[in-house]
Amino acid sequence: MKYKCIVCGYIYDPEAGDPDSGIDAGTAFEQIPDTWVCPVCGVDKTQFEPVDE
Amino acid sequence: MVKVADSIYWTGYIDWELRNFHGYSTPGGSTYNAYLIKDEKPALIDTVKYYGFDEMLRRIKQVIDPLEIKYIISNHTEMDHSGSIGKLLAICPKAEVVCSPKGEQGLKKHFDSSGAGNWKFKAVNTGDSLSIGKRTLSFYLTPMVHWPDSMVTYSKDDKILFSNDAFGQHMASPERFVDEAGLDIVLKEAAKYYANIVMPYGVQALKAIEAIKQLQIDMICPSHGLIWRRKSDITAIISKYIAWANYESQNRAVIVYDTMWHSTEKIANKLFELLDKEGLPVKIMNLKNDDPSDIVAEVMFSKVVIVGSPILNNRVFPKIAGFLGHLKGLKPKNRFGFTFGSYGWSKGGFSELEESLEESGIELIDNGAYFQYVPSEPDLNSLAGIVSKVKNILTGDKSRAGV
């Protein structure tokens, strides 16, 4: 499931991951470590919401 | 020459004539504050909007030869502060630009055509420090207060926080320090600034304040407006920021409206009359006269936000729609409100009005009060019901408001 940063709108797509931050493609949002931050605006995982698809 | 502290000079630009800061009304102009630290390796903290370069350079030259500048610290990428970096580097090309990693990315994107790809960047992270001689500067990244690249710079030896936009105000003045102008005036402008620029980022602002709280701060040098140097003033602005970041508000109401044929105006005035009769503090703001940036500042102070609009072509009235757009982006939170207005034959736009308030974090306390064409006496008297709910909220008895 995709997750959206409520602060800046960045969408985390598990199929793509966030390789620049060391998150491999295929990583579910729930499995991302709590130390990870939004690559666009720097806020933490608590500021993300699931995206209705 | 404006000396801020030992070997630290204000070398900014006073923008007397600015009246519109990307939609934020600035009847009192603004300033872009640049601070020059004269140490073994002179450092300039932030620059000015591009058209203020000459004044900034003139002020720098009163202190040192600009060729001596070793570091240009860019706390924030936005062009009101970065706008003169390129022109300054033309004079001191060996200077390094110190900024956050996102700052480096941002500056390169902003000034690609001015050769930013060739600037000497020194990216820093929270906790990094830079010795410039007698002093060591340290940096704290404050993402989304209010851009991804934002950071603040701290001089431990001077106990000065260079806070960039945080604690800033849009005020052009001969005075440079808050105590010279008067705390009340500056707080009012700082509040308007916070409401329009920082409001959506309360969580991030609180994080940033946590990070700097442990620092000893004798002076706060923002990038706009006056400098905080009196202890009680510093305490005041930091505690205000904490309150605003927690979305606190005062027990007052604001009625915001526009009108086509005075009907929505009649409803607004009746609401005021009924609230005023109860001794409740309420302010009316009309989109014909009042700027959305001033209305938003009033929303920040008010626990209850009441918005009225006529319907035009099944939509909410254009200036109200514009104001609602701004409000949605700012996300006030922790507030209550309701809606009212006059319609002709279709209540089409009222759902847009209601949804906009809810999306902004304003909980509707009742159905909207909508009347066809011209509200009658009984129509206006029926507003007493909603007024008593507002009274319960403003006098602290939330449980009886039915919310």
Q: What is the DSSP letter of B206?
A: H
| B105 → chain A, closest CA residue | A40
Is A42's CB within 8 Å of B203's CB? no
Residues of B designated catalytic: 22, 76, 78, 80, 146, 165, 193, 224
Q: How much is the average pLDDT of A29-37?
A: 95
Do B56 and B13 contact (CB within 8 A), yes or no? yes
Q: From chain A, pick out residues whose CB is under 8 angstroms from the CB of B204.
A: 7, 43
Whole-angstrom Cα distance, residue B307 to residue B257? 6
ipTM of this model?
A: 0.81
Q: From chain B, pick out residues whose CB is under 8 angstroms from the CB of A35.
A: none
Assign B397 a pLDDT band (cuts: 50, 70, 90): low
- Helix or strand (DSSP H, E) at B84: none
Comparison of pLDDT for B317 and B1, the residue scoring more: B317
pLDDT digits (tens, 9 = 90+) for B128-176: 999 999 999 999 999 999 999 999 999 999 999 999 999 999 999 999 9
Q: From chain A, pick out residues whose CB is under 8 angstroms from the CB of B203.
A: 7, 43, 47
Whole-angstrom Cα distance, residue B199 to residue B52? 28
Task: Tell which residue, B257, B398, B277, has the closest CA to residue B335.
Answer: B398
Whole-angstrom Cα distance, residue A31 to residue B332? 32
Other Cβ atoms closer than 10 A to B207? 18
Direct distance between the N- and C-terminal alpha carbons of chain B, in angstroms, rounded to an integer? 58
Q: Retrieve residue B116's tokens.
A: 């930013």
Q: How many CB pairs under 8 A join A and B?
A: 22
For residue A48, which amino acid is it?
F
Is A42's CB within 8 Å of B144's CB? yes
Q: Retrieve residue B323's tokens.
A: 């104001």
| B199 → chain A, closest CA residue | A7
Rounded to the nearest angstrom, the minimum Cα separation between A10 and chain B is 12
pLDDT of B165: 98
A interface with B, Cβ–Cβ < 8 A, is: 7-8, 37, 40-43, 47
Rounded to the nearest angstrom, the minimum Cα separation between B150 and chain A is 10
pLDDT of B403: 41
pLDDT digits (tens, 9 = 90+) for B278-307: 999 999 999 999 999 999 999 999 999 999
CA B356 to chain centre: 21
Task: Tell which residue, B300, B304, B48, B282, has the closest CA to residue B190.
Answer: B300
Other Cβ atoms closer than 10 A to B107? 23
User: Measured on CA atoms in the order B61, B43, B123, B79, is the torsion positive or negative?
Assistant: negative
Cα angle B148, B16, B21 (rounded to 5 degrees) comes to 35
Do A43 and A5 contact (CB within 8 A), yes or no? yes
Whole-angstrom Cα distance, residue B258 to residue B149? 38
- Bridge partners (DSSP) listed for residue A11: A4
Is B204's CB within 8 Å of A43's CB? yes
For the sheet containing B120-123, what is the strand order?
B2-5, B8-10, B35-37, B43-45, B71-73, B96-99, B120-123
For residue B145, which amino acid is it?
V
Q: For the whole model, what pTM was predicted?
A: 0.94
pLDDT of B398: 57
**Mean pLDDT, chain B, whole residue set:** 96
B329 conformational bin, left if phi > 0, alpha if psi -120 to 50, beta if neither: alpha
Q: From chain A, pick out residues whose CB is under 8 angstroms from the CB of B141.
A: 42
Q: What is the DSSP letter of B306?
A: E
Q: Retrieve residue B98's tokens.
A: 């110190």
Supply φ then ψ for residue B66, to 5 degrees.
-55, -25
pLDDT digits (tens, 9 = 90+) for B228-250: 999 999 999 999 999 999 999 99
Q: From chain B, pick out residues whose CB is under 8 angstroms from the CB of A40.
A: 148
Is B144's CB within 8 Å of A40's CB? no
Determine the number of helices (DSSP H) and then strands (DSSP E) in chain B: 14, 24
Do B357 and B307 contact (CB within 8 A), yes or no? yes
Assign B402 a pLDDT band (cuts: 50, 70, 90): very low
Is B203's CB within 8 Å of A47's CB? yes
CA B319 to chain centre: 21
Comparison of pLDDT for A20 and B397, the residue scoring more: A20
pLDDT of B401: 47
Rounded to the nearest angstrom, the minimum Cα separation between B153 and chain A is 18
Is A7's CB within 8 Å of B144's CB? yes
Is B143's CB within 8 Å of A47's CB? no
